[in-house]
Amino acid sequence: MCIFCRIISGEIPCQKIYEDDKVLAFLDIKPASVGHTLVITKKHYADLGEISEEDLSPLIVVVKKIGELIKTKLGMAGYSVLNNNGTAAGQTVAHIHFHIIPRTNGDGLITWSQRSYDPGEEEEIVKKLTS
């Protein structure tokens, strides 16, 4: 049983922000910023590729709800929503989850570096993704 399933079962405690029959939201124990929240499905899915659309819908609705709560109740300027899929993407728990990271102007949090496409590279990517 994964760590998130153990949290859902009550075996491991958490600081709950929201809970319904399909979704649980709780504070991350290693937050990137104050109020950093994880939103997970109660049914185990490894990642975004595995989850059914039926269970994805209520999950993303709660992500939006918690993000707006973070802005209004914690007085944050905004929030980042992050979902890692697979270990190469930084996923450390194989249970679908979204990070909601509270943001303030100039907080210094860097989400990713940026690059430019080489000549012709964009067209090749589009061909691969649309064929």
Tokens 């939006």 identify what position? 64
Domain that holds residue 44: 3-130
Three-state secondary-structure class, residue 109 = coil
Please state the domain count of the chain: 1
Q: Kindly state the percentage of the chain with pLDDT values over 70.
A: 100
In whole numbers, what is the pLDDT of the chain averaged over residues?
A: 95
Q: Is 97 part of the annotated catalytic residue set?
A: yes
Question: Choosing from 36, 44, 95, 97, which is the catalytic residue?
Answer: 97
Read off the pLDDT of residues 27-78 as tens digits, 9 standing for 90 and up: 999 999 999 999 999 999 999 999 999 999 999 999 999 999 999 999 999 9
Give the DSSP letter of residue 71: H
* CATH number (domain holding residue 88): 3.30.428.10
- Report the predicted TM-score, pTM, of the whole model to 2 decimal places: 0.91
- Sheet containing 23-27, strands listed edge to edge, beginning at the edge strand earlier in sequence: 16-19, 23-27, 37-41, 97-103, 78-82
**Residue 109 binned pLDDT confidence (cut-offs 50, 70, 90):** confident
